[in-house]
Amino acid sequence: MQFIQNKLKIELQEGQAQIGCWLMTGSPLAAEICASSGFDWVLIDMEHTPNDVAQVLSLVHAASAYPVSIAVRAPWNDAVMLKRLLDMGVQTIMVPNIQNREEAEAAVAAVRYPPSGIRGVSGNSRSNRFGRIKDYFDKADDHICLIAQIETRMGKDNLEEIAAVDGIDCLFVGPADLAADLGYLGKNADPTPQSAMGDVIGRTVKCGCAAGILAFDETEAKKWLSEGATFVAVVGDGFLLSRGMDAIVRSFKD
């Protein structure tokens, strides 16, 4: 079997804007609907959802039937969890709350095989199609796309040293957590956190690293795209379901 290249990583390196959908409901059917809708990528969230590894695998299976890149946000910067996600065939992983070079280097080490990293070796996993991709170990490291989240003042202050770590492909703004850390809990749209988000995106682009952000408002998403962000979450399955249901109920009851 042929090695499966990471299309998302390649297109981010080329500077192509990639819009995606955030999967939080844990529903394979919802994942399939979103994956077949024309997005460049879907991301399965493990940090702020009940999704466990087995459930993530079912969502990966559902989305894999379509020409969409699949990413997973790990619950934390944990080498064992990152290894398990990689072994199930996930090539793009987002790691929350990276605050300095050391944490970025730890994440990179977790997704790379020795001697470049500490990823454990399984010769019979979904990632290598159960041993059928003969050159998997020669190519795997080069096709991992690692996205580090910038979610605190410390991470923002250390942005350049994080972006400089070999193996970090994208810095992704966590709007809610960054706003909270700045003293604006639940007030992402306030000018102060908005300015901080723009600063992260601008400095990331200057570093030559892909920049990303979550923006479920169309106008805001297009603003970040115009400022150089190339990995932008423009909607989520849970967000779309709740807002859509609210709108329908209002249309009958208001």
Q: Which tens digit of pLDDT belongs to each residue from 225-237?
A: 999 999 999 999 9
Residue ranges of domains in the chain: 7-253
pLDDT value for 106? 99
The shares of helix, strand and coil residues in the chain, as percent rounded to the nearest 5, are 45, 15, 40
d(CA 155, CA 146): 16
Q: pLDDT tens-digit profile of 45-81?
A: 999 999 999 999 999 999 999 999 999 999 999 999 9
Cβ contact 6:91 at 8 Å:
yes
Q: How far apart are CA 14 and CA 30, in angstroms?
A: 30
CA distance from start to end of the chain: 58
pLDDT value of position 254: 82
> What distance lies between CA 166 and its chain's CA centroid?
18
Residues above pLDDT 70, as percent of the chain = 100
CATH number of 7-253: 3.20.20.60
Task: With cut-offs at 50, 70 and 90, classify the pLDDT of residue 122.
Answer: very high
Give the residue numbers marked as catalytic: 48
Q: What is the pLDDT of residues 209-223, one digit of tens each?
A: 999 999 999 999 999
Q: Measure the CA–CA gap between 47 and 69, rounded to whole angstroms.
A: 19
Q: How confident is the model at residue 153 (pLDDT cuts 50, 70, 90)?
A: very high
